[in-house]
Amino acid sequence: MSRKIIIAGAGIGGLSAALALNLAGFDVHVLEQSDALAEVGAGIQLSPNAMHVMQKLGLSENVLSRGFLPTSATMRHFRTAKEYLRMPLGNVIEKKFGAPYVHIHRADLHRVLHQAALSRGVQISVNTRVKRYQNLQIEGVNQVQVHLEDGREMIAAALIGADGIRSAVKKQMLPLASVEFTGQVAWRGTIDAQKVPRNLVKPEANLWVGPGAHLVSYYVRGGKEINVIAVQEQSRWTDTRWSVPGDVKVLRAAFGNWHSDVTQLLSKVEECFLWGLFASRPLDTWVDGHVALLGDACHPMLPFVAQGAAMAIEDSACLGQALSSNESINSGLSVYQSRRYARVTKVQRMAAKNASIYHMQGVSSRAKLLALKAVNSLSSDI
């Protein structure tokens, strides 16, 4: 079979897939619509399940050298700071799962993936937008023809749609599939840690839960920056963009009656973006002939278990393994979907369920147990 695979999208999912497929011996070409490769200016939590894949890709040290290792994850009451939950991370989680729990700036993670892909011979073309595809036979061999926005066409053994929540590949595969506004918005910003009083932010994954809102803060860049995500319920999202520049005054006012640790922290945010949070129901299929979806293109979810990118990274490892150990592309893609579907669907549901826990619709001992169970089961290996 031909070894050429085209990936639409150079996000965390597309680049991880490129590296996993490259490791499996495929000749990979990533097509990215933007004119430069970049990620949003915010942090990301990488749990051990994602770090296992980084280990397999030989990138764990690179990620760790740019990241931050939190000592624990805590859930606190928005006003009293009463601790509802404390879960050890650091050495404890690393010993248990064989990989650490890492906080990293997205731009740093993206750079690690991008540089590794280039140095290992993955071809990456920017300014190249995938428009549609066609499964076809050439001289008796099943292939896929990829049509680009600029009129060019490319042929490959497979096309992987890692083109995010607005995926053009998905739109063709499943014209009726839709993404919906979840009724939640998120402000995201980073703060220079030197500008924040010492000990205001603990070296943890700090989760504050309150009625209709929650806030997460943690260190990135070896402790030099603090990442803040503040989520609030909102009935509508009317902007055609996914994110808009946020107003720090509105952000501070929204959390104005929260604990002084939170209000002090928000007083240091100088710039932020406001994101509408969108998700979709599990799709009927991720595969059409020699085309498959990956990451947010097929399972966009609320970020309330910090697993969207982790699932895309897990998808990538599974895809590499399924394609290299199956006779045909078609059966490899089917195996990929069948191995990933149940786990990803479960995580999508967990993320949706956590909205009620995080927004204090019953912070009971049952809720605490559920949250603990969620983190434990997510961190298991693939």
Binding interface with ligand FAD (CB under 6 A): 8-14, 31-34, 44-45, 129-130, 162-165, 168, 186, 188, 229, 275, 277, 295-296, 303, 306-310, 312
- The whole-angstrom separation of Cα 143 and Cα 168 is 19
CB of 44 to ligand FAD, least distance (A): 4
- The residue among 285 and 326 lying less far from ligand FAD, judged by its C-beta, is 285
The whole-angstrom separation of Cα 294 and Cα 336 is 10
Question: How far is the C-alpha of 373 from the C-alpha of 382, rounded, in Å?
Answer: 17
Asked whether the beta carbons of 294 and 248 are under 8 A apart, the reply is: no
| Nearest distance, CB of residue 128 and ligand FAD, angstroms | 6
For ligand FAD, give the closer residue by CB, 243 or 285: 243
Residue 284 C-beta: closest distance to ligand FAD, Å: 19
Closer to ligand FAD at the Cβ: 31 or 333?
31
CA-wise closest residue to 350 among 94, 52, 47: 47
Do residues 297 and 164 touch, judged by C-beta distance below 8 A?
yes
Q: What is the dihedral of CA 93, 95, 98, 101, to 10 degrees?
A: 30
Handedness of CA 14, 19, 24, 26 (dihedral sign): positive
Q: How far is the CB of 310 from ligand FAD (least distance, A)?
A: 4
Report yes or no: 351 and 301 within 8 Å, Cβ to Cβ.
yes
Q: At what angle do helices 90-97 and 48-56 cross, to 10 degrees?
A: 60
| Beta-carbon count within 10 A of 366 CB | 10
Tell me how far, at minimum, the Cβ of 364 lies from ligand FAD, in Å. 25
Q: Which is nearer to ligand FAD, 13 or 289 (CB)?
A: 13
Provide the minimum distance between the beta carbon of 142 and ligand FAD in the complex, in angstroms, as a whole number.
22
Q: How far is the CB of 139 from ligand FAD (least distance, A)?
A: 28
Cβ pair 374, 356 in contact under 8 A: no
Strands 123-125 vs 27-31: parallel, antiparallel or unpaired: parallel
Residue 212: CA count within 13 A, CB half-sphere: 7
Nearer to ligand FAD, 197 or 226 (CB): 226
Q: What single-letter DSSP state applies at residue 275?
A: E
Buried b (16+ CB within 10 A) or exposed e, 96-112: ebebbbbbbbbbbbbbb
Pairwise CA distance, residues 60 & 55, whole Å: 5
Kindly state the smallest distance separating residue 80's Cβ from ligand FAD, in Å. 26
Cβ-contact 349, 299 below 8 angstroms: no
State the minimum distance, in angstroms, from the CB of residue 96 to ligand FAD.
19
- State the nearest-atom distance from the C-beta of 162 to ligand FAD, in Å: 5
Identity of the residue, 33 or 142, whose beta carbon is nearer to ligand FAD in the bound complex = 33
Task: Please state, as a whole number, how many other Cβ atoms lie within 10 Å of the Cβ of residue 118.
Answer: 13
Q: What is the CA radius of gyration of the chain?
A: 21
